[in-house]
Amino acid sequence: MSTVARTAVIVDAVRTPSGRGKPGGALSGIHPVDLAAHVLRATLERNGLESSQIDDVLLGCVSQVGEQTMNIARQAVLAAGFDERVPATTIDRQCGSSQQGAHFAAQGVMAGQYDIVIAGGVESMSRVPLGIAASVAGSPFSPALHERYPAGLVNQGVSAELIASRWDLSRETLDAFAAESHRRAADAAAQGRFASQLLPVPTDAGEFAVDETVRPATTEAGLSGLAPAFRTDALAERFPELDWRITPGNSSPLTDGASAVLIMSEQKAIELGLTPRARFHAFAVVGDDPLLMLTGPIPATRRILERSGLGIEDIDAYEVNEAFASVPLAWAAEVGADAAKLNPWGGAIALGHALGSSGTRLLGTLLACLEATGGRYGLQTMCEGGGMANATIIERL
């Protein structure tokens, strides 16, 4: 097989606007299967494809319970009206689920096993609340796991606190970063930067077309009045070094949303008269300390830079998921990143974090940013539950 045929490229990227992931949020009235189906249909329509041309659909979803169970990717394929012969699978690598879907899709293309794949993700945090899956049919923390970690692992908010403490990130620094995320996202939206990927969603209240989670008026002073979100007396006793700096304001909000990217071989794109917009340059995935949990992007970035032969200075833009402000700030300090290139159009603190959808949402944002600025290389990485991280480098074509 020729080198061209083994190159995996991105042809399109789409997403819904981010809805507040609570009852009453703009997307809370839409079943998550139908939300995912919306981006799948749009991917076909925008590119003049028939569903029978799709070799596989790989969707990320974290809370696979209730409305998001029964292999939601397959349900979405059927709800979207795709040919029944199109297969689909649902991936859970926690917050990196759809980024992992994009990795699997591109790697399948590069191996010659796929020609055209849709990778994406969905999460309705208003309808399937965060953490509900762990409350069904017992705990995922087994006796053997308790034996290995007798003090117990902690939730991500506490991990974010531990990172803020160990990297000496003050409350003021965290809040300033959060306010800047909203400012950048609002500026990008005002300039139409998201227009190429944003899909309006019909709702009972009318067409929903803007990110509901972005708050343009956010200021550091306003955020400073918010109370810490994760402190309990028991945790304060266990971690006396913490002064509790993580709040709802410097964390990503609960979010509803879906996203997708169209991935194919470069040869197939050319054959179909479609324009390859970027190629997949390198991949990495790592495990890391499950107590700190959110530090995985640091070793993932080091690994992918080593594999690619690039330095951090060669990267034109980085998308590092803002699960909490402490995560990208610690990452930037460790890898020597340029703050101006870090989430230049705002991150998840403003644009939302619809768990299973976030990976391909970030990938679409990164692609659009490279195109708008003329950049060549983009790096995407995100922390994941359990102490993992994916990293991806794309090259704009």
Catalytic residue among 95, 182, 281, 369: 95
With b meaning 16 or more CB within 10 Å and e meaning fewer, what string describes 75-96? bbbebbebeeebebebbbbbbb
Residue 47, CB-side half-sphere exposure with 13 Å CA sphere: 34
The DSSP result for 144-187, as a single string, is: HHHHHSTT----HHHHHHHHHHHTT--HHHHHHHHHHHHHHHHH
Catalytic residue selected from 38, 103, 182, 383: 383
Q: Which residue has the tokens 């749009």?
A: 42
| φ and ψ of 297, to 5 deg | -55, -25
| Measured distance CA(255)–CA(18) in Å, rounded | 6
Assigned token pair, 310 = 């690039």
Q: Is 365 helix (H, G, I), strand (E, B) or coil?
A: helix
Q: Classify residue 388 by burial, with Cβ atoms within 10 Å: 0-12, 13-18, 19+.
A: buried
369 is catalytic: no
Q: What is d(CA 77, CA 271) in angstroms, rounded to the nearest whole number?
A: 25
Determine whether 31 is an active site residue.
no
Q: Which of 207, 351, 249, 256 is nearest to 25 (CA)?
A: 256
Asked if 122 and 72 touch (Cβ cutoff 8 Å), the reply is: yes
- The catalytic residue among 38, 182, 353, 369 is 353
Q: Is 353 marked active-site?
A: yes
Burial zone of 241 (CB within 10 Å; 0-12 exposed, 13-18 middle, 19+ buried): exposed
Q: Where does 14-121 have alpha helices with state H?
A: 32-47, 72-79, 97-110
242 token code pair: 């913490």
Question: Which amino acids are annotated catalytic?
Answer: 95, 353, 383
